[in-house]
Amino acid sequence: MTNRKFCDGLQRRDLLKVGLTGLFGSGLSLDGMLRAENIGAAANDRGLSVIYVFLKGGLSTIDTIDMKPSAPAEFRGDFNPGATNVPGLQICDLLPKMALQMDKMALLRGFGHKNSDHGAADHYMLTGYFPQAGFNPSLSPNNQRPSLGSIIAKKLGPQNGSARAASPIPTYVCLPQMHNSAGAAYLGATCAPLSVEADPAAPDFSVPDLVPPLTLSADRLSSRQALLAKVDKYQKSAELEANSRAKTVDVFRQKAFDLIVSPAAKQAFNLHAENDKLRDEYGRNTLGQSCLMSRRLVEAGVRCVTIEHANWDTHDGNFATLKRDLLPQLDPAISTLFRDLSERGMLEKTLVVVSGEFGRTPRINKNAGRDHWGPSFTVILGGGGIQGGRVIGASDERAERPADQPHGPEDLFATMTHLLGIDPQQEFLTQEGRPIKIVNDGKIIRSLL
């Protein structure tokens, strides 16, 4: 993980504390996640899962997947386009592994929105709603509207939801940490993500609050549970007995215990069980191992995984940073994720989305960098009913504005929810009882399907 600062001056964590986020309102602790009982079912649930790879800071799509080799030098940059396995489709030649998987991906070019600020653009891309007055990007969480994963948690629940007791797998997980705009808003804590505050690339990666050491037997856990029950017997008071919420603590604790000893949960989070060769192919870095972990989690029944990867905020030395640091991580991670899902027969049931909150300025700045650019960038989609090997829409000759078939976050969310079997026109109720549409009047991008 990088330790570069974003242009807002905030230092992103490069050393993550191992364990689950237990702070109120952010990611759910173990007990908090297991309180999620109020889950609605969608009549048209297609059984899809989603992996959303969020490139925090903003991928320079003009240098990677929407290149402009005929533009003036101050726009086109230092890199060259290269062929892919789709005739006529070119991407940056520094992405040779992705080039071999382009038949599985669609490029949504001519995409854009009205904001070029961190925070607001993040919220827009992770919720489909542009934030209103009073939005504070520094808060965590800062959701005014629910994130995609929280919408999925509310409307769909976990895969094989009827068998939840037998396989207590969470619905929504954030890796390696929870983004500020990945929360549940008015849907409440029951739809918040399980946030794994640990770097999957660390040699000793584990999630101790969720999965105990593999050498710790169920018998030892049972002994601890029995001891805890004896202690609790003497701690209960009349006040606690009268409190209806407190009465449920034992139920949640039992479910937490069931999850900890669940073979399915142990297996899903045990990244060390993966073949070393495959781990190498994904890349032994945070992005690569997060992508591998997301495949394992989806395979185990997790419905949505959001990966936050930073720092793509290349104001200075854009080309050197991309060539030296970022693209050598992106290329193996994304290409192997698509290939791995396809080889396992999972791609048709897994929607993969790769995007930043915006792109980078078409014109190169005085520091050989590119600044924020919301008006035009490209989103990668694949699997889950998306037709690969195609380009939808186009940007103009300098990638400054959409030139054909313009689309924005509302359309992206309408398309994703449609593929999942969620009616984008349905409404949620806020805590004040005000109805809010799941999607803010977006249009389904039929040409992707």
What string of DSSP letters covers 408-428? -HHHHHHHHHHHHT--TT-EE
413 plus 430 within the same structural domain? yes
- Structural contact between residues 286 and 176, judged by C-beta atoms closer than 8 angstroms: yes
What's residue 172's pLDDT?
93
pLDDT for position 44 = 83
Q: Rounded mean pLDDT of 232-255?
A: 46
Residue 234 within a domain: yes
Task: Assess whether pLDDT exceeds 80 at residue 244.
Answer: no
16: in domain: no
Residue 346 lies in a domain: yes
Asked if residue 275 belongs to a domain, the reply is yes
Helix/strand/coil for 195: strand
To the nearest whole number, what is the mean pLDDT of the chain?
A: 84
Domain tally, the chain: 2
Decide if pLDDT at 382 tops 60. Answer: yes
Please report the pLDDT score of residue 3 as a whole number: 55
The verdict on 194 and 237 lying in the same domain is no
The DSSP line for 8-25 is: TSPPPPSSPPSSB--STT
For 206, what's the count of Cα atoms within 13 Å in the CB-facing half-sphere?
Answer: 11
Domain boundary among 266, 283, 310: 266
User: Above 60 in pLDDT, residue 70?
Assistant: yes
Specify the higher pLDDT residue, 48 or 235. 48
Q: DSSP assignment, residue 407?
A: B
Judged against a pLDDT cut of 70, whether residue 171 lies above it is answered with yes
- One domain for residues 122 and 222: no
15, pLDDT greater than 50: no
- Check pLDDT > 80 for residue 145: yes
Q: Give the residue from 223, 242, 266 where a domain finishes.
A: 266
The answer to whether residues 201 and 307 belong to one domain is: yes
Q: Note the maximum CA span of the chain.
A: 78
> Which among 38, 39, 88, 64 is positioned nearest to 359, based on CA atoms?
64
Q: pLDDT, tens digit, for every residue of 282-316? A: 999 999 999 999 999 999 999 999 999 999 999 99
Domain match, 64 and 153 both: yes
Instruction: Please tell me whether residues 83 and 149 are part of one structural domain.
Output: yes
| C-alpha distances in Å from residue 110, one per residue of 34, 75, 90, 128 | 41, 17, 16, 17
> What is this structure's pTM?
0.85
Give which of 134, 138, 126, 136 is closest to 12, Cα–Cα.
138
Of residues 235 and 334, which shows the higher confidence score? 334
- Report, as an integer, the average pLDDT of 94-104: 98
Q: Are residues 330 and 365 in the same domain?
A: yes
More reliable by pLDDT, 387 or 205: 387
By CB atoms closer than 10 A (0-12, 13-18, 19+), residue 258 is middle
131 and 45 both lie in a single domain:
yes
Within a domain: residue 128?
Answer: yes
pLDDT value of position 358: 98
In this structure, the answer to whether residues 427 and 405 fall within a common structural domain is yes
**Domain shared by 226 and 165, yes or no:** no
pLDDT digits (tens, 9 = 90+) for 191-228: 989 888 889 999 888 775 554 444 455 555 555 555 55
Which of the four pLDDT bands, split at 50, 70 and 90, describes residue 399?
Answer: very high
Helix (H/G/I), strand (E/B), else coil: 281: helix
Residues 247 and 378 in one domain: no
pLDDT at 164: 41
Question: Which of 266, 296, 331 is a domain's end point?
Answer: 266
Residues 107 and 218 in one domain: no
Query: Is 54 inside a domain boundary?
Result: yes
Q: For residue 332, give the CATH number of its domain.
A: 3.40.720.10
Does 18 map to a domain?
no
Residues in the chain: 449
**Closest listed residue to residue 55, CA positions, set 330, 347, 362, 292:** 330
The 10s digit of each residue's pLDDT in 246-283 is: 443 444 454 455 555 567 777 888 899 999 999 999 99
* Residue 108 belongs to a domain: yes
- Average pLDDT of the segment spanning 415-435: 93
For strands 350-355 and 194-195, give the pairing: unpaired
Q: What's the pLDDT band for 361 if we cut at 50, 70, 90?
A: very high
Q: Which residue segment(s) compose the domain that 124 sits in?
A: 30-211+270-448
pLDDT at residue 303, rounded to an integer: 95
The residue to which tokens 């533009």 are assigned? 71
What is the average pLDDT across 50-66? 98
